[in-house]
Structures are given as C-alpha cells and as structure tokens.
Amino acid sequence: MASAHPISDEVKPAILQEVDPVDIPRPALVDNNRSFSWITDKICGIVEEKTPTWWWVCFIMACATASFTVMGLVYLVATGTGVWGLANPANWGWAIVNFVFWIGIGHAGTLISAILCLLRQKWRTSINRAAEAMTIFAVVCAGIFPVFHVGRVWMAWFLFPIPNANAIWPNFRSALLWDVFAVSTYGTVSVLFWYVGLIPDLASVRDRAKNKIRQVLYGIFAMGWRGSNRQWSNYEMCYLILAGLSTPLVLSVHTIVSFDFAISLLPGWHTTIFPPYFVAGAIFSGFGMVLTLMLPLRAIYRLEDLITQYHIDCMTKIILATGTMVGYAYGMEFFIAAYGANDFEIFAFVNRAFGNYAWAYWIMISCNVLSPQFFWFKKIRENTALVWIITIFVNIGILFERFVIAVTTLTRDFVPSSWGYYSPTIIDIFTYVGTFGVFSVLFLLFLRFLPLMAMAEIKAVTPQADPHKH
C-alpha cells in the first residue's frame, strides 16, 4: 500500500491545514526493482541449471551422515533399546529430547507460512517455501524417534486405534498418544499446505521445460494449473483456510508436546507455563534454523534482491523477541517455585543451575538468552556472517534446553534413593547426528528439484503487481 487515499476537503481535520503528512515508503520487498520475469528466471534457473559441484559435495556428505542414523536404528532394532543410555531413573533421554528439538524447529515454517500470512506480513513470501520444506523434513526427523523408541518397532502400529483381536486400544488419556495424533496431523497438514503453495510454481517450471520428461513430471504435480483467475480464486481461499487452520495447529501441536512433560507430576515439569514456553522456544529455534539454511543459500545463489536486509532484520528481531520470552520463562519458573514455597520445585530449579548438569544449564542460558541479545544492534544484524554464527548458537541452545528440561527432572526428582545420572551412549549420539544428515539430504533434494521460493507470491507483493497503482 504505497499511496494514501486522498482525503476530501470537507472531512479533513484542522491539523492538516498546518501539517502536510509525508508518505513514508515501506521497505522494498524485492530490491533493485526487479521485474516479474527476473524473479521467474532466477528461481526457475536454480532448478533448471546443471547440478553444481557444491551440491554434490554436500549431498555426499549428507548421505554419509544420514547413514549414521540408519546404522544406529538397525543396531537398535536388532539388539534392543539397551543400546541407548536410557535406564532408571532417566527413562526418557536423548530420544525425546531429539523429538522435541526437531518438532520445535518445524514450527517456524508453519508460523512463517500461516501466522505471518494471517498477519499480512508480506516479507514472508521469499522464505515461506523453504521454511515449509524445512518443517516437513524436520517432522520426518522428529517422527523417527517416537517410532523407534518403542523397542518392538513392528508393534508400533498399536499407537493408532486400529482394531486387533484382543480389543486393545490406545490410552487416550496419555499425552504420548495425543502426540501421535498431533504430529500426524501436523505432518499431513504441512505437506498439504506446502504442496498447494507449490502448484503455481510447478506450473511455471513445467511451462519452461525444455525436455519432455521434465514437462510431464512437473506437469503431473502441477495438476493442470493454468493461472486462470477462476483457479486463483479457489487457490486463494484454500491458502487462507490452510493458514487459518495451521495457526491453531502450530500452537496446539507444541502445546501437546509440552504436555508430555506438563501433565506429569514431576517437579520442574508440572507447570502451566510449559505450553507457551515450549511454543516460544519452538518459534525461536525454528527461525534460527531458517536463517541457518537461508543465509548460505542467499550467498550461493545470489538471492540478495529477494531476501533483503529487511527480511533478515525481521527474522532476527523475531529470534530476539522469542529468545527473550524464553528467558522470561526461565526466570518465572524460578520465581514461581520460590513464591510457591514448594521444596521439591525449588530444589528442581536450584539443581538445574548448580547440580551435576549445571554445565548444560549455563550453555542453555548463554545460547538462548544472551546470544540473541546481540540482535538489538543494527551493525550485527547487517553482518550476515555474525547473524549466521548466532543462529548456530540458537540451535545449540535449544537442544540443550530440551536436554536440561527432560534429564535434570528425571535424574533428581522426589526421593534421593532414586537419583541417578544419565549419559547418552555412542549409538544415541550417532543416531542424533545422523538425523541432521537425513534432514540435509531431503533439503538438498528439495533445492535441486523444486523452486525454492514462492515466485507467484513474491510477484504479488511487488509494487508492480498492485492494480491500483496506475
């Protein structure tokens, strides 16, 4: 909305006789006034060009890393869950920590696509496609853990309400089962949302296809899209509905994940702050991962005109805001424990800060609360290398946060005779590190074969697209 509506003379307030309001221009969402065809050529060009060498190098490294997960899981299923570090008292260790970590990262993609769409934040258009892809791949990585942690993976179908001969149904009072439904729904809806958004762009790639195979394959997935306004009319309604549905979905899914902990009775877990605290942490880590992925891509593919400094500013400010919220939650937990005069609760938090996992706690605090504070400073937000390094710290910080929450409470809860110490085994570590490989493989395939930005949406938010401008 670049031009203000002219106010007729009769209704002009008196102040306007003395003051002449200036039209403050909004920051350009596409720098250098690029044309529609430039945007199409840029993004489709990435899909159409020969695969660059760096892609192959990264892909091979990613496959090698992903094989750690495959090997780890095969060994787990063949030998048993004893190969992980889980034991009394910490029967939840890295498996649930990794699950919550990956699900949290996925939430930023849906937030960017859905919540920012409802809030009419037009800057979302250059990052939403890649962020949604990130969500789907993160959900894939997250889903590995609930499925494999059951031990007898061939019985994992018991998680779903499928009839069997013994009338054994899932326990619908359990938050772990709510997770099954929440994460399944989240995965399905995210894929649908991503795919619906892709259709017009797949049609663009199909229309530019130079060989028959490409034309047919992209054509199948473009589902006959012509760009007709009758199609756009339905598409826009679908998109809006999906955005409207995904918003409560983002909030509810991570709330339900937090319920895994919050509906228990353990000190440090049984607090009502968990749902908003987990959701804020998810958004925080997810935006961190979006920047970790997009900043190198921006440099490699020269996308500075599409992901401008304004975009980076917006994302870093969101990281700053949500990181501060998470820091507030840390402080509130301590305060409520002290104010509530519950000895177990007080001990749980003092133990976190000064007990035998204090090293993890202080890494968490410095990465989650202190490192985003650098984003107050414009000089730092404008230095993309520094921003990238800080986002790596954000990712590390959120991992440690999940670890601190899960493990400190389990290893030191009510009765000292039940106390213990948890360490992950080498299998735990390899399986987790491998999931970054799985994620990278999927993301690299996405980069190679699918348009990494929402071309149609970016065009729609440029000033040239406004029909009222002329």
The residues of the shown chain that bind other proteins, judged by CB under 8 A, are 36, 40, 161, 163, 167-173, 175, 177-178, 181-182, 184-185, 188-189, 192, 196, 200, 204, 223-238, 241-242, 245, 248-249, 252-253, 256, 259, 455-457, 459-460, 464-470
Question: Rounded to an integer, what distance in angstroms lies between the CA atom of residue 283 and that of residue 329?
Answer: 14
In the bound complex, what is the minimum distance in angstroms from residue 465's beta carbon to other proteins?
6
415 phi and psi angles, rounded to 5 deg: -110, 120
Q: Which of 278, 298, 235 is nearest to 42 (CA)?
A: 298
In the bound complex, what is the minimum distance in angstroms from residue 247's beta carbon to other proteins?
10
Question: Rounded to an integer, what distance in angstroms lies between the CA atom of residue 190 and that of residue 187?
Answer: 5
In the bound complex, what is the minimum distance in angstroms from residue 11's beta carbon to other proteins?
24
Cβ proximity to other proteins, 154 vs 172, nearer residue:
172
Question: Rounded to an integer, what distance in angstroms lies between the CA atom of residue 368 and that of residue 322?
Answer: 9
In the bound complex, what is the minimum distance in angstroms from residue 134's beta carbon to other proteins?
20
Cβ proximity to other proteins, 12 vs 226, nearer residue:
226
Cβ proximity to other proteins, 101 vs 239, nearer residue:
239
Amino acid in position 317: K
Cβ proximity to other proteins, 52 vs 224, nearer residue:
224
- DSSP per-residue string spanning 98-113: HHHHHHHHHHHHHIII
Burial class (CB in 10 A: 0-12, 13-18, 19+), 108: buried
Question: Rounded to an integer, what distance in angstroms lies between the CA atom of residue 150 and that of residue 99?
Answer: 13
Question: Rounded to an integer, what distance in angstroms lies between the CA atom of residue 273 and that of residue 104?
Answer: 16
Cβ proximity to other proteins, 370 vs 465, nearer residue:
465
In the bound complex, what is the minimum distance in angstroms from residue 230's beta carbon to other proteins?
4
In the bound complex, what is the minimum distance in angstroms from residue 199's beta carbon to other proteins?
9
In the bound complex, what is the minimum distance in angstroms from residue 179's beta carbon to other proteins?
9
Contact between 302 and 246 (Cβ < 8 Å): no
Cβ proximity to other proteins, 182 vs 348, nearer residue:
182
Cβ proximity to other proteins, 92 vs 259, nearer residue:
259
Helix 309-340 and helix 274-300: axis angle, to 10°? 160
Question: Rounded to an integer, what distance in angstroms lies between the CA atom of residue 174 and that of residue 141?
Answer: 23
Neighbours of 326 (CB within 10 A): 26
